[in-house]
Structure 1
Amino acid sequence: MEVAVSALRAELRQWIETARSGQDVVVTERGVPVARLVGIESADLVARLERDGLLTATEGDRPAAEPERAAGAARAVSGLVRRLRR
């Protein structure tokens, strides 16, 4: 879905709701795409990472990780999340 900058300014709340509902909104200026408005799907982050091939689902139950290894994995994941938020 596309919207001109002027229409976005005039109807911002409506376009935010559109993005929140899951539709991407491409913002155009004089017919040229300049930005994309997308909803934040924090609840579906793991599913999206799996879909994009950045994360693979485990098969079956995993044993609990050793404390040192778990701490290292937490740092690696937090670094990934920081990069994704930029």
Structure 2
Amino acid sequence: MKIAAVSKLKAYLSEYLNQVKAGNEVLITDRGKPVARLVPILRMKTTGESMTRLEKQGLIKLGSGKLPKDFWSMPRPEDPNGLVLKALLEERETGR
């Protein structure tokens, strides 16, 4: 793990970001005390893997062909109680 003072990080940000992109972590210090850590974002290897994981959890059902030509002109399913909107807002609020 690399260690960088705030002043050095500001001067060489691009270099430190390249280190993080390469998978390394950078500990940021202010007057010698740790204040933050730059870490790479964990990513799924492929979209397919994440979709398969969601399907195994029962959260989605993968499609098995092309959409019908009139798909976008079809009426939307009804949701008179607004349950879909409530679920969406809850998901956004909780960060799931």
TM-score, with normalisation over the residues of structure 2?
0.46
- Aligned alpha-carbon RMSD (Å): 2.9
- Structure 2: which 5+ residue stretches go unaligned? 46-52, 62-86
Q: Tell whether 2:20 aligns with 1:19.
A: yes
Q: Tell whether 2:43 aligns with 1:42.
A: yes
**Structure 2 equivalent of residue 6 of structure 1:** 7
Classify the secondary structure of the residue corresponding to 1:42. coil
Paired residues, what number?
Answer: 55
Tell me the amino acid that sits aligned with residue 37 of structure 2. R
- Cα shift at 1:41: 2.6
The structure, 1 or 2, with the larger RCO (C-alpha pairs under 8 Å, 6+ apart) is 1
**Structure 1 equivalent of residue 77 of structure 2:** none
TM-score, with normalisation over the residues of structure 1?
0.51
Please tell me whether Structure 1 or Structure 2 has the larger radius of gyration of its CA atoms. Answer: 2
List per-residue Cα deviations over 1:23-61 (Å, max 9, x = no partner): 1100000110000001113135xxxxxxxxxxxx9xxxx
Moved over 2 A (4+): none
Tell me the amino acid that sits aligned with residue 35 of structure 2. V
- Structure 1: which 5+ residue stretches go unaligned? 45-56
Distance 2:44 2:60 in 1: 22
Structure 1 vs Structure 2: percent identity of aligned residues?
Answer: 35
**Structure 1 equivalent of residue 34 of structure 2:** 33
Tell me the amino acid that sits aligned with residue 5 of structure 1. V
More helix per residue: 1
